[in-house]
Structure 1
């Protein structure tokens, strides 16, 4: 079995999104078990990105992305420990930054990512994709926490939902910019992106991974306006499935066209 760079990128995107979401709600009184649960959810794909390329891929152990992912994974014991919020925030910020660096170094290896501009756009697109998937999933879990911690301020769930909306809009913008910037390469590909086959997958990426979740985020915001966390959580559950599908389709498109979409 050979591990691919796209597998590494998918793991890094998911880890980046969850870690970023946790970093943005540092003072949420969610308890140690929550951070153990979500910390493990984030650090498992991060650890996979650090270990599997060296064991089953073509990347050397000294590869920059592998080292950055490994450096980020070192924060795991602090994140899941019963420590002060400030200490956990610093550990999460470190892990998020390292994961971001690893993601940039991984995107740099994409076939059509040539030049600084393409690298910046591709990296931002990959980070936005990961943020959508990670933050929506995190928001769904936080929504469940209101069942066990009823006094938990609703502002934390609202914040995550708003962050998800911003990430979805940003991701859509980056996908559009990538299509414009790489129009010639996408048109000259063996299966042109703007052919019926390519447009089917691009439409699935946008509709399933971004447009529908954006609609669901609006619906969740409406529920949260009435402090109805149960309805919002149910909506976020459905949205989590959609954004994960969208992230997977994004990786599939990158496998075909060589750029993050």
Structure 2
């Protein structure tokens, strides 16, 4: 179970981080993009190598799971080229390479989510799972990379506030999307789910509900409140206060997403 949790958490964080980097202008400086690019590549490699899937899947034949792994590997290769472009100061190539790496990663995450549930799961259930993977990636990346960006205002005081505003807005949007998606998932699994899925939902009223409510507190309400507070501080250009709040959001995000992935792995419930 633990290698699956490591794979899900770090691969999604890496891809979400790449998406966040796309929204940051070149004015953040070479050191910022070099650090975050290397961090994203390291997290992606950690997720793939420590995960439950053998690299022999990349030799084919390709099914949904192996194709997902291939897309993530290609995302990592492109991220490496992006890092090389940053180090060599080839600015014109950086954004295109970063964008391609991000798109490959998002496609890999989506496909991974689609094929993560039992093959007998209806198409709507697989789509909900795929969207759950995508939104989780965006959420993790926007929270943690916003916190890193907040620190960079100490390094580059002239950096405009707009990138932090964009990432904070992305964080709020992803949290709202997570809440809506979880509500839709619970409703559809209760209405159209099979006997096992309805039994799983019923178990949440007992001891199994501990993990669900902990997930709601740490993964939904906590980050939402902190992100709204962060937005208010960003609007008045208080980057130090925003960074402090983003530390709190990072703690909430890590705990909430670990709980979420535990529920997904043990209950096959993408919430």
Which secondary structure does the structure 1 equivalent of 2:57 belong to? coil
Residue 135 of structure 1: CA displacement? 0.6
Seen in structure 2, the aligned counterparts of structure 1 residues 113 and 153 have a Cα distance that, compared at 3 Å, is farther
Match of 1:101 in 2: 107
Which secondary structure does the structure 1 equivalent of 2:28 belong to? coil
Q: Deviations over 1:4-28 (max 9, x none)?
A: 4444322221112111111122x24
CA distance in 1, matches of 2:245, 2:2: 34
Match of 2:69 in 1: 66
Residue 153 of structure 1: CA displacement? 0.4
8 Å Cα contact 1:161-1:217 kept in structure 2: yes
Seen in structure 2, the aligned counterparts of structure 1 residues 238 and 50 have a Cα distance that, compared at 3 Å, is same
Which deviates the most, 222-231 or 138-147? 222-231
Map 1:6-85; keep pairs closer than 5 Å: 6-25=5-24, 27-53=25-51, 57=54, 60-62=57-59, 63-80=66-83, 81-82=85-86, 83-85=89-91
Identify the match of residue 152 of structure 1 among 153, 159, 167. Answer: 159
Match of 1:209 in 2: 219
Which deviates the most, 140-149 or 109-118? 109-118
CA distance in 1, matches of 2:11, 2:257: 12
CA distance in 2, matches of 1:36, 1:258: 37
Which deviates the most, 132-141 or 9-18? 9-18
8 Å Cα contact 1:139-1:236 kept in structure 2: yes
Seen in structure 2, the aligned counterparts of structure 1 residues 202 and 52 have a Cα distance that, compared at 3 Å, is same
Seen in structure 2, the aligned counterparts of structure 1 residues 260 and 105 have a Cα distance that, compared at 3 Å, is same
CA distance in 2, matches of 1:53, 1:187: 29
CA distance in 1, matches of 2:111, 2:150: 34
8 Å Cα contact 1:186-1:193 kept in structure 2: no
Residue 95 of structure 1: CA displacement? 1.4
Which secondary structure does the structure 2 equivalent of 1:46 belong to? helix
CA distance in 1, matches of 2:184, 2:92: 37
Report the TM-score when normalising by structure 2: 0.86
CA distance in 1, matches of 2:107, 2:182: 21
Which secondary structure does the structure 2 equivalent of 1:197 belong to? coil
Q: Deviations over 1:224-246 (max 9, x none)?
A: 22211101100001111110111
Q: How many residues align?
A: 257
Which deviates the most, 79-88 or 193-202? 79-88
In the alignment, structure 1 residue 170 sits paired with structure 2 residue 174: no
Seen in structure 2, the aligned counterparts of structure 1 residues 28 and 113 have a Cα distance that, compared at 3 Å, is farther
CA distance in 2, matches of 1:237, 1:246: 14
Residue 158 of structure 1: CA displacement? 0.9
Structure having the higher helix fraction is 2
The alignment's C-alpha RMSD in Å is 2.3
Seen in structure 2, the aligned counterparts of structure 1 residues 124 and 92 have a Cα distance that, compared at 3 Å, is same
CA distance in 2, matches of 1:73, 1:121: 26
